[in-house]
Amino acid sequence: MSRERVLLLFDRKRPVWTPELVSLAGEDPVTLSALENGGLLSCKENVFSLTDQGFETFRTWAAESWLDAEPGEPPVDTAMSLMALEASLLFERGFRGFHGTKRVTVSPELPYRPGIPASGVFATDGDDFTWLYPDDEGLASIVEHFPRTRRAGDKDLEEIDMWLAEQALPPATFKPDMLCVNQCDYQWYWRDRRNTDRFGFLNSDRLFARLLPDPEQLTLEQVLEDLGKFGLFLANNRHLYLPGCFDIDTQQQSCFTWWFWITVTEDQARLLAKRISRYCPKLVEPMMPVDLWTMSLERLRAWNEKAESFYEFVDALAIPVSR
């Protein structure tokens, strides 16, 4: 079974693995060589990926295991794919979830409307900026037609999608490098459902991350483009899918939505936090409540504990940017 488990790690979101990352995932890295010898994996510079035969075997074994997964194609950027994978595994290892559930996804693709070109999301003037997207006509029509204070579930997804199509609001996709959705105290919430909970965010805390191998190259425009899409995606959830229960759960407790920039070294994380914090609170005003943080793979790798909750995990490892 070890061969099957290891091969099925190579899915669409996690197409390349190293022995170190397989070990971090709790599997035996020696199995990689066995799969390579069997013609199912190829290896280049200690990075393993599926062969054509491995691609087809993945489909067969996934079907036999009733696993809804697609085999991974070679990534455009192998280094970034490995960085995202490592960060996700370190988040998995880092905290328990406190009597609840935890879901970590690499490279999620999160649809939202309206899609707005960067020129309509923000404007820059030297080292200053202005948010433009809150005044977008398409977003304003969503806010007006679907008040944030209405009762969740008074319209179903089909009605919402039909209305969006009628308005001809252009679709877009928000693509963070990682998403961790955490629900504490599962026993208190498992019965709660909303038929419009498109992304499974009800009664959960959400941690979105952008990975930065070279944070010195990050520009203000890139920060604004990322956070503009983030803000539009959050507006969809607050107005369309989970009005009244996105930021406050069904037990009247706060749900946290946090954004992380993850660097390689701790020095990079500290410098980046200092650099971006000077744009706050203006940077997060249109998307509140939200918190911004930096974190480093260096600290994540050195974290040998298992925190009871993500609050303890973040408090120990992250650097606040917007607080």
Structural domain contains residue 79: no
Structural domain contains residue 82: no
- 246 plus 288 within the same structural domain: yes
Please state the pTM of the whole predicted model: 0.94
Q: What is the pLDDT of residues 253-278, one digit of tens each?
A: 889 999 999 999 999 999 999 999 99
- 93 plus 198 within the same structural domain: yes
- 230 plus 288 within the same structural domain: yes
Give the chain's mean pLDDT.
93
Q: What is the pLDDT of residues 180-237, one digit of tens each?
A: 998 866 666 666 778 889 999 998 999 999 999 999 999 999 999 999 999 999 999 9
* Whether residue 303 has pLDDT greater than 80: yes
Percentage of the chain lying above the pLDDT 70 cut: 96
- 103 plus 235 within the same structural domain: yes
The interaxial angle of helices 137-145 and 220-236, nearest 10 deg, is 30
- 60 plus 154 within the same structural domain: no
Question: Domain with 17 in it: what CATH number?
Answer: 1.10.10.10
Structural domain contains residue 196: yes
Structural domain contains residue 84: no
Closest CA to 123 of 221, 197, 52: 221
Q: Across 45-146, where does the E strand assignment appear?
A: 47-50, 101-106, 110-112, 122-125, 128-131
- 14 plus 132 within the same structural domain: no
Tokens of 39: 């013609």
What residue numbers bound the domain in which 238 lies? 89-320
- 24 plus 136 within the same structural domain: no
- 132 plus 21 within the same structural domain: no
Structural domain contains residue 223: yes
- 136 plus 69 within the same structural domain: no
- 66 plus 172 within the same structural domain: no
DSSP per position, 2-64: HHHHHHTT-BTT---B-HHHHHHTTS-THHHHHHHHTTSEEEETTEEEE-HHHHHHHHHHHHH
> How far is residue 237's CA from residue 215's CA, in Å, rounded to a whole number?
29
Q: How many domains does the chain have?
A: 2
